[in-house]
Structures are given as structure tokens and as C-alpha cells.
Amino acid sequence: MSKSKKRLAVFPGTFDPITNGHLDIIRRGAKVFDELVVAVGDNPEKVALLDQGERAQIIREVLANVSNVRVETFSGLTVDFAAKMGAAAILRGIRNTADLQFECRVALTNRAVAGIETVFVVTGSEHAFTSSNLIRQIAQMGGDVSAMVPPAVLPHLQAGRKNTAPDNGLDESH
């Protein structure tokens, strides 16, 4: 009897920051696939609060106890990275119908361009409203996001907030 090939999936995102919703998708995806690669990318259309290496390190820390998940950074097209990893599929989370509409277009394009399938996992209802953009905005304004992100993320958001504090026009160097 021959040993079957491991089924690997890639879960791509900027994860700026990683949310409890992302973790929900990762943990559930890890049950479906033999191996899951969390692919931390950069989106040229977004200004990141946390740098790519910092985001990857946070995710490694948070997922240290999940044996079949590894974290990699990448640049360029997700489909190219997925092919390089030997992925059977790209894993994507769906929160609502707007996500579904957008993700279906991307999935169809990825299949047409690169022949790679996309597997959708619907997020738990308790995470359906969360997004990294919303969390960043709340954190930058001093709000409490502790219910939406893993505890390891909080110090990084607080440090990012200090680094991006709005200029109030006062010169305090005197």
C-alpha cells in the first residue's frame, strides 16, 4: 500500500493584526487539511500597522500548539506562493455575503489562472463582524479590542498606536 500525499492548504492574508476570527478559520482548516500554511503577505494597497515579520512572529506564537500549522511570509501573487508550497487548495474565510461575492470572483480567477481550488469556511457567528481594518481603527483611537484579538497581539497594537499617534501640531521639543 502506498503512502498517500499530504493535503496541504494555504491560508493567505495580511493579518494586520491577526484576529480571533482568523484563528477560528485556521483551527478549523487545520482539522480539514493534513498541513496548513498561514501565508503572511503584504498588500501594496494597504499601509500596514505591523511589519510583515512581526505579524508572522505573533502568529507563530499564537499557534505554537497547533502541530500541523506553519507560518510563512511571502510577496507576490498568492497563487504563485500556493503552487510553490505544493498546495491542494487556498483556504478562505467567509463572514458575510459581501465576502462571499468578492471571494467567489477571486476563487474563479485563481482556478482559471493557476488551476488551484479554493475552500471556503464560514466563520463562527461570534466573529462575523470583526475585521483587521476595524480592529486597527479602534486600537489606534485607544479603544479596547481585547475581545477580538489574541492576547499576544495587544502589546503590538499598543506599540503601533504610539508610533502612529496623530500629529497635533505641537512641537514638544522645547
- Which residues are designated catalytic? 22, 46, 95, 132
Q: How far apart are CA 7 and CA 30, in angstroms?
A: 11
Q: Are 41 and 12 in contact (CB under 8 A)?
A: yes
- Complete edge-to-edge strand list for the sheet that includes strand 117-122: 69-73, 35-40, 8-13, 89-94, 117-122
CA–CA separation, 165 vs 51, rounded Å?
A: 17
Question: From start to end of 2-103, where are the E strands?
Answer: 8-13, 35-40, 69-73, 89-94
Instruction: Count the Cβ atoms, other than its own, within 10 Å of residue 63.
Output: 20
CA dist 148 and 161 (Å) reads: 17
